[in-house]
Amino acid sequence: MDIPKISLDPELDEDTITHEFVHHARTVDESRGGFAKTAYKTVNGICDMTFHRRNESDIHNFEEAATVAETTARTMDPAKRVSGYYDYVEGIFQRTAYDSDRKRLTGNSQSANIDETRGVKGKAVVNRINEEFAKTHIASMRMNGRTALQSYDILNQKE
């Protein structure tokens, strides 16, 4: 099995670095379930390419939305530059959607000052994603005609 390699460029911000590490954690942490688990199906630690080829757009849609949500919850401070995946959330400005999601995922009220929110760590963030993801704006991210939540449902149907 290949060893994952994440290259850290000095110009990358906390949000970008965290995003890539979250993809990795979502894939290798077998204790995760629900929205906090990767959309990629694996068999003995290897990606099931048949499942991947059949569901590539839904995998990408849900995986990126859930990774953005977890990144939003984990970073110590709010992102200076909002993830480009918020471009796919309709009917709300990117920054407004991000700030609302950050407050929800870090356990703050919507009236809280965004600059006073702090990231969540460990199992607490996994629990927050499973409890709150469906209520976030990023969950309504629409790619290829479906929301991330619709993609999640498709990927988790019994075959």
Question: Which among 156, 159, 158, 148 has a CA at the least distance from the CA of 58?
Answer: 148
How far, in Å, are 4, 10, 16, 34, 41 from residue 48 at the CA level? 17, 34, 27, 19, 6
Angle between helices 49-74 and 122-132 (to 10 degrees): 110
Q: How far apart are CA 156 and CA 39, in angstroms?
A: 9
pLDDT at 2: 60
pLDDT of residue 4 exceeding 70, the answer is no
Strand, helix or coil at 104? Answer: helix
The overall pTM is greater than 0.75:
yes
Q: How far apart are CA 51 and CA 151, in angstroms?
A: 14
Q: How far apart are CA 136 and CA 92, in angstroms?
A: 12
Are 151 and 58 spatial neighbours (Cβ–Cβ below 8 Å)? yes
**pLDDT tens digits for 12-21?**
889 999 999 9
Domain boundaries, the chain: 14-155
**pLDDT tens digits for 122-159?**
999 999 999 999 999 999 999 989 999 999 999 998 55
pLDDT at 7: 73
pLDDT at 1: 47
**pLDDT tens digits for 74-114?**
999 999 999 999 999 999 999 999 999 999 999 999 999 99
Are 61 and 141 spatial neighbours (Cβ–Cβ below 8 Å)? yes
**13 C-beta neighbours (distance < 10 Å), count:** 12
- Give the ranges where the chain is alpha helix by DSSP (H): 14-28, 49-74, 94-105, 122-132, 148-155
**pLDDT tens digits for 30-79?**
899 999 999 988 777 777 888 888 889 999 999 999 999 999 999 999 99
